[in-house]
Structure 1
């Protein structure tokens, strides 16, 4: 930021005061642009009904930042400069009231638009003392001793105004468009016969550029985590526009054969990716696939369910082979689930085949897989999310008997932001 140099003994000039003010504004403008950007943003300016309620609303203190020329008119002895653009901030420290008229005809409503713009004006005029060269002990009153008042401040404020729409049958009335150079903040709806404005009468205008979050809400990298093991909704927190998601599908169940061991279930697919362009408060549905279920009677293990999050999909693993067929050398393990929508899409591990000669079921696809059972035992369920269940074992008794496979692991979503 520029700084003035003043030397001892030199005669003070007006620019010795003007430039520090200008340089401070430019420095703050640069910092504002670096943190908030150059687009128009609004902070505060909350719109609320009066207490007691009436047909008046109160727009509270707040600010607006907007790109503007350095100075539209001369600033003291410094010339106007609209070529160089800086982000300026208008600040209102006091509230502004607006009173609305009700429609004149029964059954009608009016939408009023409250809009805002950056305003810079010269104000606080005063008659200033000037140096009287002929008699320095007696100051002139104003320039050339003419008694003329001059503005003493260049103030930056939020200019607010109300723009009424056309009255129309309730539910069909339209909101007026935003004027050039302004931004819409609120729409206030007033109905025929209404005597007071309530909170339900006031809505934020579409596209209103309110600052969505403050610095304390910003998060350093991926510092927080949410885990979904069942379906629900993810609500984007304040300060979050980008997240990392790892999505896993449900694992398939192990096979259950009538007279032999069953194959292991396949693991669920896995999608990993970075999702950007999010808006705080945005709701993203989460669907978590269930683990495959072992059939109640001999048969192939149930498939795992698909998990979804936004455009990401992680398919469920397939169940291990079982059933009642005879003469098999082995029962095959289930295939792993596929994945899509991530930057990294991984197919789940295949469940292993049953070893009939050893009467051992196939292991489920991993990680988090269940182990295949040996002998007269049911397969081991998956120990973690997305793993395939182990295939049921078998006995060499007469008649030979197979046992149920283990259940697959349910899907999972891990979100880091």
Structure 2
């Protein structure tokens, strides 16, 4: 980092002090670039509180680190000072008091932008040395009594818009919070802002054992419907949803002309992805786990909903079913949607009978196998998440008193999750 040099007995100049300030700003900026990366943006504080009585939000105090210029304009003056230096550097901008920001209208999705720049403030009438009369102090330059700015500060203002505005000269525009405003709304009651990606975890948060363990731990399993809370340090969540397996088909052979070999149920769909979350919001992840399908019934859909929107879902497998007196086709796998890593359709269940030919009516395997085996007088149930049930087969007259050999049930779905910084 550069430092100004002065000497005993030399006459101090205004540029000695101005250069010291510029050197400090550049040194701190280069250090920030080492921590966050060149060109990165980071925000701290700046809480967004929606109004319950108007279409506005209040942005609290805080700071932003964003690219800017060392000095977009000359600093100092009155016969001295430093010329402008537009070298790009990471700059700090402050918001020292809460500001109210109006929302443009209802029925829109808008973003709160911070307009970051530097301004010269704190105007003061300064005393100047009078070379013509050393005993006299001048009030301002040439004794004109005019005030001069005494502080150059990085500051910010805010605007709500549907697209990014132009950046101030030598400054930056930073997207902070996004809000979806319902049509015909007159207030923002019930609206939850979604924080942007500029809100990084702090060093103490990154240093906690909780975060380190969570970031390196395997995905957790949720095998029943419910709510998952979001930890304070998280900004993303990795999710994998598996739909319930379809049930296997029965057989009802009473004679050689009847059906005697049922088909297997299809496996549930498989959706996997990573999604942004807001730990400061009140909402968690609402999980619905699809049940396994009973005999000849479709498996349930597994889905994860966040702030009223479905992130991903995996449909249940279709059951094995008879399409004719002696024809039983395996169920197709459930579809998947919303995944950012993949959306996989579940595996098919095995066919049962096709006229005089028979096939092994096994249930479709889930992601970890477990398709139910076809079984004499009763198909076997699926044994692992998302697996389909097996079909039943029987010889003429061997069925139970009800005349039906039961197909196996599909296995339920599940959700795997892991929070990330």
TM-score band, normalised by shorter chain = 0.5 to 0.7
Match of 1:349 among 328, 347, 350: 347
CA distance in 2, matches of 1:278, 1:364: 37
- Is 1:307 the counterpart of 2:307? The answer is no
1:380 matched to which residue of 2?
A: 380
1:364 matched to which residue of 2?
A: 363
SS in 2 for 1:266: coil
CA distance in 1, matches of 2:241, 2:267: 13
> Alpha-carbon deviation of 1:388?
0.8
CA contact (8 A) 1:40 1:209 kept: no
> Alpha-carbon deviation of 1:120?
3.5
> Alpha-carbon deviation of 1:74?
2.6
Cα 1:117–1:318 shift into 2, 3 Å: closer
CA distance in 1, matches of 2:63, 2:236: 27
Any stretches of 5+ residues in structure 2 without a counterpart?
51-57, 101-113, 159-164, 177-186, 254-259, 305-309
Cα 1:13–1:143 shift into 2, 3 Å: farther
- Is 1:337 the counterpart of 2:334? The answer is yes
Cα 1:267–1:241 shift into 2, 3 Å: same
Is the deviation greater in 259-268 or in 7-16? 7-16
Cα-to-partner distance string for 1:310-360 (whole Å, 9 max, x where unaligned): 46443322222469946x7xx543332333444433332233345999x99
CA contact (8 A) 1:370 1:406 kept: no
CA contact (8 A) 2:287 2:303 kept: yes
CA contact (8 A) 2:266 2:348 kept: yes
1:156 matched to which residue of 2?
A: 153
SS in 2 for 1:23: helix
What count of residue pairs does the alignment treat as equivalent? 346
SS in 1 for 2:392: coil
CA distance in 2, matches of 1:372, 1:207: 48
CA distance in 2, matches of 1:13, 1:228: 70
TM-score, normalization by structure 1: 0.58
Q: How does 1:119-198 map to 2 (within 5 A)?
A: 119-122=119-122, 127=127, 154=151, 156=153
SS in 2 for 1:264: coil
- Is 1:266 the counterpart of 2:290? The answer is no
Q: How does 1:219-234 map to 2 (within 5 A)?
A: 223=216, 225=219, 227-231=221-225
Q: Please, what is the CA RMSD of the aligned residues?
A: 5.7
1:193 matched to which residue of 2?
A: none
Cα-to-partner distance string for 1:352-406 (whole Å, 9 max, x where unaligned): 345999x997332213425336445x33322221011133354x58544453122
> Alpha-carbon deviation of 1:81?
1.2
CA contact (8 A) 1:70 1:86 kept: no
Cα 1:370–1:61 shift into 2, 3 Å: closer
Cα 1:385–1:40 shift into 2, 3 Å: closer
> Alpha-carbon deviation of 1:252?
0.8
- Is 1:35 the counterpart of 2:30? The answer is no
SS in 1 for 2:92: strand
- Is 1:23 the counterpart of 2:17? The answer is no
**Higher alpha-carbon Rg:** 1
Any stretches of 5+ residues in structure 1 without a counterpart?
49-57, 99-114, 133-137, 162-177, 186-199, 295-300
